Amino acid sequence: MKILQIINALTMGGAQILLLDLCVYLKKLGHDPVVAAFRDGPVGDKLRENGIETIILGEKGLDVIGLARLCREIKNFAPDLIHSHLFRASLWARIAVKITGKRTLVTSIHGPETDSYHFMEKKIYFLSDFVIFPSNYLANWYKAEIVPLPSTKYGIIYPGTNVKAYPTQTKNSKKIRIGSLSRLHPVKGIDTLLEAVHILALKLDNFEIIIGGDGKEKNRLEEMAQTLGISKLVTFLGSVSSPSDFLNEIDIFAAPSREEAFGINICEAMERGLPVIASRVGGIRETIHDGWDGILINPNNSSELALKLELLIKEPGLREKLGKFAREKILSSFPREKALHEHLEVYSKLMTIAKMNIQVAISSCEIGGGENLAATISSDLKTRGWKINVLCGGERTAGLFRARGINVEKRSLAVSGIFFAVGLLASAKRSVSQIIYVHLNKAALYASKLAFIHGLPVAGHVHGQNRAVYYNSCDVAFSVSKAVTASLIEQGIDPSKVKLIPNAIPSVEKLLRKEMTSPAVWKIAIIAKLHENKGHEWALSAIENAISKKQLSDIEILIFGEGPTKELLAERFSRKPFDRIFKFLGFQNDIFSLYPDIHWVLLPSFSEGIPLSLLEAMRIGIPAIATNVGGIPEIIENNFNGFLVKPNQPDELISAIKCALDYSLWKRFSQNALEKFRKVNNFGKLVGDIDFELRRLLNISVFLKSSDEI
């Protein structure tokens, strides 16, 4: 994995040391970390010593020149993921990602900033794909002051500290050394510590204060020590290159901060087995259990701080106890190794999510079984973490996906589908898709034949006994029935590429079916596209002829659907007196509400995969009269939950319809239809199998954990 880390400056600080450790950890595991900073510093030297490339962007021109270079480096390095630290670097990282195109961006919020930061963060937070907080405190602060983030967009990772061998050397000083290590900034409360020392000096003289760190407050704090008359007790060391060496030489650690997102310096002191006195603020309360592994005081309270320092100076046993439990706390809960591993888990998860960006293409502008299945599968894949973008041929099909909250585009299928093919390439690029999942013949042909341009794997869903030429260039072909599988293999498609995933529909726990008595008029529905392949003409002709000969009576044929043969069929079979029998009802948005009034479904197709219309009918206990073609015999068992007839055989069809108009037989077949549906239908397995195969194509070997587990 190529990872670009971006930070303000490579000076010594908690964020910088964490970044250093993270880069070293990633490099050891075989990843390729690169660091970009606007200003160099001692951490930069350590990065380079460890063989990690550093890019110094410069701070000229209000960082605009640095931004330009950052954009150039992003394009050249082409990272899989970018991780920004601290507000200034995160601001430019977000802008750079926006300029250079979609990249996965992780942002670490290390602490609150200024009011201007709050204002800007509210405007641009959404440009980060994931936000890492060092404590629950900071995450809650961000939620209250900036914006509530969805649980999938953030995680808590305690930075912790590196665990080393326990120090064994004896300290040189005979006096008790009280140390504090931080940047010298008002928020760190060092002035409170100096006031406490002034109070303490009136009672004790066997201690001294060592203050490590640099910052804009240094001169003011030195003057304050002089004014308080404690300058002989206080040593300002300036910048400290080795926090561990510093901590090894002190006896008590003080951190009287006014605000603290986490407190890495506190963890470092606890790891060294030091008793810690810290303010009861921010993330410190998640690190120290007061009175057990440290002591908490109220911020800005120099008297309380002096009292607790006096207690620790006088009680070596208490110092030893607090230090012992402090180190145990770090070993169990806050080792830096744990934080580094959790960062990598976030990276890996985001990379998996980035891969799970799928372009669905369906070459249709109508609605039928294939279109409905494509929309339902897409909706379920979305709930499994896939990012779905759809291209279809018309508004009616688009509405299926739009109703499920799925992004959809339309392209005309005219001019032999050239516009659709070009639109597919553009849509896949725009959505940064990693795989193309196609439904229906033309979409499969365009996607697989143009693979040399888009360079993406193609999964084709084969809904019927189609010609293999449309699918033989797909990386995998999902077959909806055993009959379709056999047909594809017979036509020469590599059997290893064909995956049998039987058609299914979502089960409905409570779908009302009113109790029917023997009807005066039997209602038989044909629910299919009005296409010559569906066999409407021969079946309706046979029924018309039988009615004319008085072989059939007391029936209505309800014809649902749209398609290219609609006008021909309507003209042919709507003549009086048959207009009372053959009722062309067109496309119905809520056809399921009409099912309770239907007695039988009729499907006189010449070829089929596994018809969803039959499964939908079986789900409510409606038996079927259908042709024994394709996958139909896999769900309709002759003389059990329906009748099977040969296509284009009028006598067989009429004979089956005559038998079907027996109430006791119908009632038995209706119950059998429900039983058969429960046996053959497994929509959860269908989606699970497709999900697995798509992940396999993208080399995603594990299912994602929920974001709450990060």
Number of structural domains (the chain) is: 4
Answer yes or no: do 419 and 480 share one domain: yes
Residue 570 lies in a domain: yes
Mean pLDDT value of segment 116-138:
93
Residue 661: strand, helix, or coil:
coil
End-to-end Cα spacing for the chain:
19
Q: Please tell me the distance from the alpha carbon of residue 465 to that of residue 443, in angstroms, as a whole number.
A: 16
Phi, psi (deg, nearest 5) at residue 57 = -80, -25
Task: Say what the pLDDT of residue 509 is.
Answer: 54
**Digit-coded pLDDT (tens) for 662-707:** 999 999 999 999 999 999 999 999 999 999 999 999 876 433 333 3
Same-domain check for residues 488 and 578: no
Instruction: Indicate whether 329 and 383 sit together in one domain.
Output: no
Does residue 540 lie within any of the structural domains? yes
pLDDT of residue 632: 97
Mean pLDDT, the chain, as a whole number?
A: 92
171-220 tens-digit pLDDT: 667 899 999 999 899 999 999 999 999 999 999 999 999 999 998 899 99
Residue 169: its pLDDT value, please? 58
77 band by pLDDT with thresholds 50, 70 and 90: very high
Q: Give yes or no: residues 419 and 301 share one domain.
A: no
**Average pLDDT score over residue span 604-626:** 95
Asked whether 388 and 363 are in contact (CB, 8 A), the reply is no
**Which residues make Cβ contacts (< 8 Å) with residue 447, sequence separation at least 6?**
361, 424, 436, 438, 454, 458, 460, 474
181 shares a domain with 116: no
**Is residue 705 in some structural domain?**
no
What's the mean pLDDT in 592-616? 93
Regarding whether 320 and 191 lie in a shared domain, the answer is yes
CA distances from 114 to 86, 111, 145, 531, 576 (A): 12, 10, 12, 67, 82
The percentage of residues in the chain with a pLDDT greater than 90, rounded to a whole number, is 81
Q: What is the reported pLDDT for 554?
A: 93
pLDDT at site 704: 38
Token pair belonging to 14: 């908690």
Asked if residue 228 has pLDDT above 70, the reply is yes
Q: Is residue 568 part of a domain?
A: yes
365 and 318 inside one domain: no
pLDDT in tens, 486-540: 999 999 999 999 999 999 999 765 555 556 778 899 999 999 999 999 999 999 9
Does residue 635 lie within any of the structural domains? yes
Q: Are residues 316 and 360 in the same domain?
A: no
Element (H, E) at 557: strand 555-560
Q: What is the largest CA-CA distance in the chain?
A: 121
Q: Is the pLDDT of residue 548 over 50?
A: yes
| 58-72, 303-317, 415-429, 443-457, range with greatest mean pLDDT | 303-317
**Same structural domain for residues 583 and 632?**
yes
233-244 confidence digits (pLDDT tens): 999 999 888 889
Residue 363 is part of a domain; what is its CATH number?
3.40.50.2000
Q: What is the pLDDT of residue 709?
A: 34
Give the per-residue pLDDT at 368.
Answer: 84
With beta carbons less than 8 A apart as the criterion, state whether 178 and 171 touch. no
Over the stretch 392-403, which tens digit does the pLDDT of each residue have?
999 999 999 999
Q: Are residues 566 and 670 in the same domain?
A: yes
Report which of 610, 651, 612, 650 is spatially closest to residue 633, judged by C-alpha positions. 610
| 688 in any annotated domain | no
Single residue among 500, 535, 563 that ends a domain in this structure: 500
pLDDT of the residue at 172: 66
Q: Which pair of structure tokens corresponds to residue 498?
A: 């064909």
Estimate to the nearest angstrom the gap between the alpha carbon of 216 and the chain centroid: 43
320 with 368, same domain: the answer is: no
Kindly give, in sequence order, each residue whose CB lies less than 8 Å from that of residue 500, ignoring residues fewer than 6 positions away: 479, 481, 482, 485
What is the 8-class DSSP label of residue 102? -
Is 654 domain-assigned? yes
Same domain flag for 408 and 538: no
Q: CA 710 from chain center: how many Å?
A: 13
Domain with 486 in it: 356-500
pLDDT at position 457: 94
What integer is the mean pLDDT of 654-664? 96
Q: What is the pLDDT of residue 703?
A: 39
pLDDT of 707 reads 35
Average pLDDT value for residue range 274-300: 96
What number is the average pLDDT over the span 256-266? 94
73 falls within a domain: yes
Averaged pLDDT, 435-460: 93
Q: What is the pLDDT of residue 13?
A: 84
Confidence of residue 86 (pLDDT cuts 50, 70, 90): very high
Q: How many CB atoms within 10 Å of residue 102?
A: 13
